Structures are given as C-alpha cells and as structure tokens.
C-alpha cells in the first residue's frame, strides 16, 4: 500500500535532521569546534533513538541506501576520533592510537557476534514447529537475548559507552574517559560473544535436522492422527482456519492441524488440537507414512498443490464461508476428492458454474460453526433497535458490487444514525481498503460519523463494577501463554506444549462470560465500531435485530438466526436481476446506494406483522444451510468418517497392487499402513 501522506513529512524531517547532524559533526571535527561537535553527536544519537522508536520503516530505507546502523555508527565514532586528533597536539596522536585500536577491536567483535548469531539462529531453526505438543526431546531452550539477535540494537547499546567516552574526552580533553568507554563497550561485546559461543556447544544445541525428523516420525506414530486441517496463507488470512477449530476439535478420532508458514503457528486461535508446521515440502511428504487419512482445506493456496501429491490422503475443500461470489466456485476445487458445502444452494452453484466439480463429489454438511448463533426471539425488546452493518471488502477483481462501503456505506450509516431509536454496530471486513484506497477512506469517514453521533447522544452509562476487566483477565489467562516478547519459535515450542486437560471447555465458558460482561459494560444507546477480534461476528449477530451487509458469506451465516437482513445493491443491476443473480438476496430487503429504503426497513423490524419475508427466510435458510436435523456437527463428523473409510480402503488397494506388481522390491512404499514407533517418544 502507498505510504500515508501524513507520514511523509515526519520521515523527511528525521532524514534531514540525521543528515544535518552528520554534516555538522564533520565540520566540527575538521575545524575543530568542541561545542558543535558535542551538539551534533548528541543530536545524531537522539535521532537514532527516534528511528528505532517511531520511524522503524526508515531503517530499511537507509539500509537499502548502504547507510545502515553499522555505517552510521562507525562514521559517528570516526568523526569523533578525527575531532580528537585535530584538537590535540601533533605529539598526542600516539596517545590516541590505543583508543583507535580498541575502537576497531570493538567493531571487529561486533562483526564476529553477528556471524555467530547467524549460526545460533540456524541451529535454532528446526524443520518442524509445534504447538500443543511436548517437544522437550528436541532439547528446546530459551532464546538468546534480543540484543544478540538484532545487530542494530546491539551496536547502539554496546557502542554507547564508547561513543559517550569519546564525547567526554572531546569536552574535557581527558583520554581516560574514552579509554573507559571503549573498555566498557569491549566488555559488553565479549560477554555477548561468550553467550553465543556457549550456545554453540554440542550439549547446548537443539536437535539437528535429522534428529528432529526422526522425532517427528516417532510422534506421528505414537499420536496416530486420523484427520487434519491443512492451512497455508498470509498473516491476515488466519481467520479462515480459526473458524474451523472448534468443529475440528469435536470430531471423532485424533485431529491435527498442519501449517506451512512458521509465523502462522502463533496466528492460530487457542485450541487443544496439536499443531504441526512443516515448511519444507520434503518434511510435508513424511505425512504419507503416518496414520493421517483425511485433510480438510478451508482455503486454496499455492502450497495446496504440494500436499495434494500425497497419495495416501483424501482431501476435501470446506471453504471459509459461502456466498454467491465466484470465489465460492473456484475451479481449483476440482483438485480435491470431495467438496463439502452447507446446503443445496452451493451444490446447485457448482453445477451451474461448470468448473469441473462433479455432483457426486459434493457433500452437504451444513455449517457447524453456526451453533453459536441464537435464533430469532421476536422484535426489539429494549429502547433501541440494534442494527449490525457488516460490509465485506472490495475483493481482487475490481467489481463495484463487492463492497457497499465505497458507494453506499456513508449513506446507509447516515440514514441509520438519523433514527434516534437505532443503535448501530459497525463491523467492517479486516481487509477493507487493502486493494482500493477509496474503501479505506470511506471506512474512516464512516467511523467519524459514528463518533460524531455518539458525541451528540447522552444517557446514563453502566456502573463500572470491574466485571469486564475480571473476565478479560480470566480469558487472557486461558488463551495466552506467558511468553516474553523476545522469545523465538523454539522457546515458544517449549512454553506452548500440551495444554491442560479441559482447557477448551474452560475457554468456551470464559468467552461466554466475557461477551456477557462486554455488552453489559456498554450503554444500550451508544453506537459501536467493532474492530478487535473480540467480540466475534457471531456475538454481534446475537445482539443485532437487523443485519445490513453485501453479497458475502456473512448473509448465509446470519440466516441461521432467522432475523431480518438487507443487502446493499451497488452492482448497477436492476433489483429483479440482482435477486436472480444472487440467490442469497432472495429473502432480503434490497437497498439502493442512496439508502432510501432504510426507514421502511426499520419499521418492518419493529413491527414483525409488516415483515413479508419471514417464510422466504425460512426457506432460504434450508436451501443455503441445509436441514436443522441432524445437527451440522453430526453431519460434518459423518462426512469425515466416510472419507476416512475411503482413504483406508484406498491404502489397502494400493498396498495389494504394489505387492502384486513389484514383489521383488519389498522396500518400495513397503508400508502404506503406518507402523508403530520403534522406540517411545
């Protein structure tokens, strides 16, 4: 994304100050001029602090210009030394020679420490990252101090005594100050060097790659997983996997989560299910010899094709939500053994899309996640009608009908805020503005409209009993591990081992208590902009009397409540064409970009007898999400067990075929049926 204009002046100012400081320091060193030398050096150090505290993006800019922290620090000290030499008499140059030698030794140690830190980091980079698994056999240990892993921070901190000593010598003309400062910097560098050397001792190193892979094979054989959730994606896409964690945990058998990106291990929400991150394809292929039978895919990615190569596994695509968008019928879906959808609507959608997915491979399982959505219980009971406006993002294809934020968002919000009996919950998609800057700008304007409306409203606020703070602490205690910010992946593996029994149930209870305390802490009349992970979208569903959204999976999920909903039509299509093109709109009130229909819509919510779409919502819910009985979790589990059975039968057939075709090569895929470990884990 382009750099915000508001940040450009600050960056330019920092750059100008740093350049001016170095320029003034050079002039002061060559003249020489002690007050200017001191002021310029102190200014330069202060700007470095600003860079590391508030303008970290500029560090990479300087590095690309070959003006990184090492170059800047060497130049700063070099100019100080030049100034000292120019200040002193000719015969005193020999007095400063040892100081220069000590300074050079410090920089040499800095380079050695950097090389050793790279070696230590390599020894601490295992081919597998785990969570919720006891991996103590891999000799895990705490990470080295952060200063030893970040060269910029290390040089600033370790070199500060030397720079300070040189400044003091320039001020009072006493070489002992510089000698003491350089000695302190050398001492700090030697301590860091010792710490890294100790970590490279064979007894202190974590397990090597071969040993780690042997441990992985043994753990897989002991745990004997049957079904796994496979996920690969960017940092902002973790929600696509997180929505399937609870249904996965409730399956029969031994579930497993398989990730590909190391950073994703910490993006997965709290769960008791074991997590394996296998970045390399060669490591991923070891799943072929495990008991794993089925992998569930909530999203497509470039790395999905790699795991599809494992012949012993069956794969199913469950998606991370269903809508009428083309992305719900991606042609990539035909690469999976089966495609699991919520209800008949998705089956029909695949048939109409003609993307290569055969009807026999489509299985209807409902939406297990929607068990948390409470059903409709009548018109608004309180003084306010709660409206949830949850638009989707702009998408990758540039279709103006993807999101209502740009063309209709402000009009919708103004119309809702104009009704004194409305309480608005605004929950935009996390990716809003990531493709089209107009969407991001409109989102900011909508938030300002809501803040302005709240400033005009007054009323009694709930008394702060401390309940929310208490529930927040309890939930944080259950869902976060006490891991220091400087911990690396191995240290997190050590601290995030197998969870305590019953933690998942405790988290669910704590979450329910937190949500109750959260809503109780807010005035009923106050509009809210919901941006954090908590409260969840489904929690907002349960508070809302009405949903306004776009053509997205939000609509399908909200239908589980049976409450009224509306869809903003920014596609440019006539209403009848819009309804025909997008079946999820069939039971919705269609709003135009000018939001002219909002007052009438609110009346139907407050007076259900005027709502002519009740039966249409019931029918559409059945069409989109399937029947209420058996429950979605039951159908999900049945589909998993059926596909696991198919995978086992496939393994047997392949084993018999290989035995018949190549009996003279008994070791070639000798056992498609996994073996027990040769030794305990």
Q: What is the pLDDT of residues 590-644, one digit of tens each?
A: 999 999 999 999 999 999 999 999 999 999 999 999 998 899 999 999 999 999 9
Peptide bond into 630 cis (omega under 30): yes
pLDDT tens, position by position, 364-401? 999 999 988 999 999 998 889 999 999 999 887 777 77
pLDDT class of 677 with cuts at 50, 70, 90: very low
Q: Which tokens in the block code for residue 450?
A: 């809501």
> What DSSP string describes 290-337?
SS--EEEESS--TTHHHHTT-TT-EEEE--S---SSGGGG-GGGGGSS
Q: Which tokens in the block code for residue 87?
A: 């200040």
The predicted pLDDT at position 392 comes to 92
Residue 385 lies in a domain: yes
Give me the CATH number covering residue 428: 3.40.50.2000
Helix H, strand E, coil C: the string for 202-231 is CCCCCCCHHHHHHHHHHHHHHHCCCEEEEE
* Neighbouring residues of 314: CB distance < 8 A, sequence distance ≥ 6: 293, 294, 295, 337, 338, 643, 644, 646, 647, 650
Burial class of residue 420 (count of CB atoms within 10 Å of its CB; 0-12, 13-18, 19+): exposed
Most confident by average pLDDT, 23-37, 170-184, 409-423: 409-423
Which strand ranges, in their side-by-side order, compose the sheet holding 528-529? 528-529, 422-426, 385-390, 546-549, 565-568, 589-591
Q: Which residues pair with 500 in a beta bridge?
A: none
Give percent above pLDDT 70 in the chain.
93
Give me the chain's average pLDDT, please. Answer: 88
Residues 555 and 88: their CA atoms lie apart, in Å, by: 79
Same domain, 542 and 556: yes
Same domain, 257 and 180: no
pLDDT tens, position by position, 112-158? 888 899 899 999 999 999 999 999 999 999 988 887 888 878 888 89
pLDDT class of 97 with cuts at 50, 70, 90: confident
Residue 643 lies in a domain: no
Q: How far apart are the first and last CA of the chain?
A: 47
Residue 339 — φ and ψ, nearest 5°? -120, 120
CB distance 595 to 414 below 8 Å: yes
The predicted pLDDT at position 325 comes to 63
* Neighbouring residues of 449: CB distance < 8 A, sequence distance ≥ 6: 410, 413, 414, 417
Residue 602 lies in a domain: yes
The predicted pLDDT at position 438 comes to 93
Same domain, 485 and 572: no
- The whole-number average pLDDT for the span 436-455 is 95
Residues 551 and 481: their CA atoms lie apart, in Å, by: 38
Same domain, 470 and 592: no
pLDDT class of 664 with cuts at 50, 70, 90: low
Question: Where does a domain end: 470, 502, 521?
Answer: 521
Residue recorded with tokens 């409902």:
366
Residues 39 and 507: their CA atoms lie apart, in Å, by: 56
> Which of 27 and 618 is assigned the larger pLDDT?
618
Peptide bond into 384 cis (omega under 30): no
Most confident by average pLDDT, 90-104, 172-186, 637-651: 637-651
Same domain, 448 and 466: no
Least Cα distance to 52 among 102, 18, 2 occurs for 18
- Alpha carbon 361 to its chain centroid, in Å, reads 32
Least confident segment among 174-178, 534-538, 568-572, 621-625: 174-178
pLDDT tens, position by position, 485-496? 778 889 999 988
The DSSP H or E segment spanning 679 is: none
Residues 123 and 511: their CA atoms lie apart, in Å, by: 39
pLDDT tens, position by position, 551-584? 988 998 999 999 999 999 999 899 999 998 888 8
Answer left, alpha or beta for residue 550, where phi above 0 means left and psi between -120 and 50 means alpha.
beta
- Alpha carbon 213 to its chain centroid, in Å, reads 27
Question: Where does a domain end: 521, 536, 569?
Answer: 521
Same domain, 502 and 429: no
Residue 648 lies in a domain: no
The predicted pLDDT at position 667 comes to 53
CB distance 616 to 623 below 8 Å: no
DSSP annotation of 359: G
Least Cα distance to 233 among 271, 277, 274 occurs for 277
Same domain, 216 and 182: no
Number of domains the chain is built from: 4
pLDDT class of 100 with cuts at 50, 70, 90: confident
Give me the CATH number covering residue 246: 3.40.50.11820
Same domain, 587 and 442: yes
CB distance 41 to 163 below 8 Å: yes
Residues 549 and 362: their CA atoms lie apart, in Å, by: 28
Q: Which tokens in the block code for residue 202?
A: 């064979």
The predicted pLDDT at position 665 comes to 54
The DSSP H or E segment spanning 176 is: helix 175-199
Which strand ranges, in their side-by-side order, compose the sheet holding 227-231? 129-131, 275-277, 255-259, 227-231, 294-297, 314-317, 338-341, 362-364
The predicted pLDDT at position 65 comes to 63
Same domain, 19 and 154: yes
Question: Where does a domain end: 134, 166, 199?
Answer: 199
Residue 168 lies in a domain: yes
Residue 137 lies in a domain: no
Residue 674 has pLDDT above 60, yes or no: no
Residue 669 has pLDDT above 60, yes or no: no
Residue 306 — φ and ψ, nearest 5°? -70, -45
DSSP annotation of 4: P
Residues 167 and 84: their CA atoms lie apart, in Å, by: 9
CB distance 143 to 225 below 8 Å: no
Residues 563 and 373: their CA atoms lie apart, in Å, by: 11
Same domain, 399 and 478: no
Same domain, 46 and 86: yes
Give percent above pLDDT 90 in the chain.
56
Predicted TM-score of the model (pTM): 0.79
Calculate helix-pair angle for 34-54, 8-30, nearest 10 degrees. 150
Domain enclosing residue 235, as ranges: 209-366
pLDDT class of 50 with cuts at 50, 70, 90: confident
Please give the radius of gyration of the chain, using alpha carbons only, rounded to the nearest integer. Answer: 31
pLDDT class of 4 with cuts at 50, 70, 90: very low
The predicted pLDDT at position 672 comes to 47
Residue 189 lies in a domain: yes
Residue 664 lies in a domain: no
Same domain, 66 and 83: yes
The predicted pLDDT at position 122 comes to 92
62 SS3 class: helix
The predicted pLDDT at position 327 comes to 59
Residue 90 has pLDDT above 60, yes or no: no
């Amino acid at each position: 994304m382009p750099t915000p204009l508001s940040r450009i002046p600050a960056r330019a100012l920092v750059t100008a100050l740093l350049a001016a400081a170095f320029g003034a320091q050079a002039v002061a060193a060559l003249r020489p001029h002690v007050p200017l030398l001191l002021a310029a050096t102190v200014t330069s150090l202060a700007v470095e602090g600003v860079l590391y505290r508030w303008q970290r993006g500029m560090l990479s800019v300087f590095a690309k210009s070959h003006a990184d922290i090492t170059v800047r620090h060497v130049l700063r000290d070099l100019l100080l030394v030049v100034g000292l030499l120019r200040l002193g008499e000719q015969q005193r140059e020999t007095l400063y020679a040892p100081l220069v030698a000590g300074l050079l030794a410090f920089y040499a140690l800095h380079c050695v420490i950097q090389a050793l830190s790279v070696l230590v980091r390599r020894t601490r980079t295992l081919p597998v990252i785990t969570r919720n698994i006891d991996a103590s056999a891999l000799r895990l240990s705490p990470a080295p101090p952060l200063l030893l892993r970040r060269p910029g921070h290390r040089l600033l901190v370790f070199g500060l005594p030397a720079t300070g000593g040189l400044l003091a010598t320039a001020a009072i003309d006493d070489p002992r100050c510089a000698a003491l400062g350089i000695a302190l910097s050398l001492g700090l560098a030697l301590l860091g060097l010792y710490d890294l050397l100790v970590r490279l001792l064979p007894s202190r190193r974590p397990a090597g790659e071969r040993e780690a892979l042997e441990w992985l094979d043994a753990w897989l054989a002991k745990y004997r997983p049957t079904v796994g959730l496979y996920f690969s994606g960017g940092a902002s896409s973790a929600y696509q996997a997180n929505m399937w964690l609870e249904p996965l945990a409730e399956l029969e058998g031994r579930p497993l989560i398989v990730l590909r990106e190391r950073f994703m291990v910490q993006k997965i929400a709290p769960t008791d299910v074991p997590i394996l991150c296998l970045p390399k394809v060669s490591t991923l292929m070891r799943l072929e010899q495990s008991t794993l039978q089925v992998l569930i895919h909530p999203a497509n990615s470039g790395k999905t094709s790699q795991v599809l190569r494992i012949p012993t596994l069956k794969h199913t695509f469950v998606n991370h939500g269903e809508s009428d968008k083309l992305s719900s019928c991606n042609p990539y879906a035909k690469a999976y053994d089966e495609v699991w959808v919520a209800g008949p609507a998705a089956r029909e959608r695949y048939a109409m899309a003609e993307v290569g997915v055969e009807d026999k491979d489509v299985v209807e399982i409902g939406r297990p996640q929607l068990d948390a959505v409470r059903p409709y219980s009548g018109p608004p009971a309180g003084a306010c009608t709660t409206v949830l406006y949850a638009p989707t993002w702009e998408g990758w294809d540039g279709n103006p009908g993807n999101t209502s934020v740009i063309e209709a968002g402000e009009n919708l919000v103004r119309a809702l805020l104009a009704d004194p009996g409305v309480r608005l919950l605004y929950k935009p998609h996390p990716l809003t503005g990531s493709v089209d800057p107009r969407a991001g700008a409109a989102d900011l304007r909508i938030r300002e409209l809501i803040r302005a409306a709240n400033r005009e409203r007054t009323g009694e606020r709930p008394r702060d009993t401390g309940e929310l703070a208490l529930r927040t602490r309890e939930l944080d205690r259950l869902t976060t591990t006490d891991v220091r910010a400087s911990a690396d992946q191995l240290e997190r593996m050590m601290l995030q081992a197998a969870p305590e029994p019953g933690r998942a149930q405790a988290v669910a209870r704590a979450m329910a208590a937190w949500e109750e305390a959260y809503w109780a802490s807010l005035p009923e009349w106050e509009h809210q902009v919901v941006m954090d992970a908590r409260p969840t979208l489904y929690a907002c569903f349960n508070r809302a009397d009405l949903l306004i959204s776009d053509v997205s999976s939000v609509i399908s999920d909200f239908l589980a409540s049976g409450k009224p909903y509306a869809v903003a039509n920014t596609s440019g299509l006539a209403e009848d064409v819009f309804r025909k093109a997008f079946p999820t709109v069939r039971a919705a009130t269609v709003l135009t970009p000018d939001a002219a229909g909002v007052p009438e819509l609110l009346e139907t919510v407050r007076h259900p007898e005027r709502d002519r779409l009740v039966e249409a919502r019931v029918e559409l819910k059945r069409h989109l999400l399937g029947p209420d009985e058996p429950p979605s979790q039951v159908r999900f589990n049945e589909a998993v067990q059926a596909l696991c059975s198919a995978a086992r039968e496939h393994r047997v057939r392949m084993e018999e075929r290989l035995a018949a075709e190549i009996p003279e090569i008994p070791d070639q895929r000798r056992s498609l049926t996994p073996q027990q470990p040769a030794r305990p884990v």
